[in-house]
Amino acid sequence: MQPILSVRGVSKTYASGHRALEPVDLDIAKGEIFALLGPNGAGKTTLISIICGIVTPSTGTITVMGHDTIHDFRAARSVIGLVPQELSVDMFETVLATVRYSRRLFGKAGHDSYIEQVLRDLSLWDKRHAKIRELSGGMKRRVLIAKALSHEPDVLFLDEPTAGVDVALRRDMWKLVHRLRERGTTIILTTHYIEEAEEMADRVGVIDKGRIILIERKAELMKKLGKRQMLISLQEPMTAIPADLAEWHLTLENEGHIVRYIFDAQAEHTGIPSLLRKLAELGVGFKDLETSKSSLEDIFVDLVEHKEQAA
């Protein structure tokens, strides 16, 4: 099947000489939700900005629905909606006027019932006559999404849609993305949060230092990255991990007050019951146990280390 978006050999070196993106190849299928995951400065915004025609690539080509983003810029841009990271709205305009104006910028005739639907979907309808500067930060962000959807784009880019927003808005955002997909919109989003990729994406690309280090279906990735950690707060600090505990590969932290155990949550035997039994046998008392998912940082370290080992 013909991909809706095709990126070939796209790289970017900024005028400062900074190499922000190594050559990227990427195909996105129609109706797919693709999450680009990476730490600060990895190159996510650079890649999205290039695809949306805001930043010029140093090398490579991109087609969106068959339109070349440089030679056929207007046609390519008209099928794209972009929700930028930073606020870019006229603070003195009303919500409704701003969203209608965005649609007109794309040369599309007015379509009030569509605009109403978008505003209702984003819980903005009641605020349609409010001036944007009167809205809360979360509401302003919803306006950015409404603007990006105003011209009925086929492909929607969300650059860190939930950075700095509260839990309620984050959940609304996720619901909206699912609804849009049901209507056939292709969605590409960037995020720092593994949970967000987990919640929304069909496929995940991991980018680090301008390099895409992995592109995989979410289900596969989650299996690979399904590591968890358990932190055991000890009653008495230890100076070293006892030899009898060697098989769990524990690490000692916080000046010997905390023991960290990394385990595979997908495995049949996590090793936790036997570890706890062994601690009891050795008379090691603990005050608290806490388990959590590996952080994105752990995952990156893991991925990069594996890559280096494989090289």
**Which among 176, 187, 80, 158 is positioned nearest to 119, based on CA atoms?**
176
Q: Can you tell me which of 16, 113, 239, 309 binds ligand ATP, judged by CB under 6 A? A: 16
| Contacting residue, 5, 11, 24, 44, with ligand ATP by CB under 6 A | 44
Smallest distance, ligand ATP to C-beta of residue 14, A: 3
**Count of Cβ atoms closer than 10 Å to residue 29 Cβ:** 14
CA dist., res. 82 & res. 156, Å (int): 6
Nearer to ligand ATP, 36 or 230 (CB): 36
SS3 content of the chain, % helix, strand, coil (to 5): 35, 30, 35
Nearer to ligand ATP by Cβ, of 37 and 135: the residue is: 37
- Residue 45 interacting with ligand ATP (CB under 6 A): yes
Q: What is the rounded distance in angstroms from the CA atom of residue 90 to the CA atom of residue 92?
A: 6
Of these, 7, 26, 37, 46, which contacts ligand ATP (CB under 6 A)? 46
249 binds ligand ATP (CB under 6 A): no
Beta bridge mates, 83: 158
One residue of 9, 14, 133, 306 binding ligand ATP per CB under 6 A:
14
Please pick, from the candidates 33, 34, 43, 50, the single residue that binds ligand ATP as defined by CB under 6 A.
43
The total of other beta-carbon atoms located within 10 Å of residue 99's CB is 25
Q: Which contiguous run of DSSP H or E holds residue 144?
A: helix 137-149
Q: Is 153 in the site for ligand ATP (CB under 6 A)?
A: no
* Interaction between residue 42 and ligand ATP (CB under 6 A): yes
Residue 3 to residues 143, 153, 190: CA-CA distances in angstroms? 29, 16, 19
Contact status: 137 vs ligand ATP (CB under 6 A): no
206 binds ligand ATP (CB under 6 A): no
Instruction: Tell me how far CA of residue 305 lies from CA of 35, 47, 181, 227, 299, in angstroms.
Output: 22, 24, 35, 15, 10
Q: How far is the CB of 201 from ligand ATP (least distance, A)?
A: 16
104 binds ligand ATP (CB under 6 A): no
Kindly list the residues in this chain that would bind ligand ATP in the complex (CB under 6 A): 14, 16, 18, 20, 38, 40-46
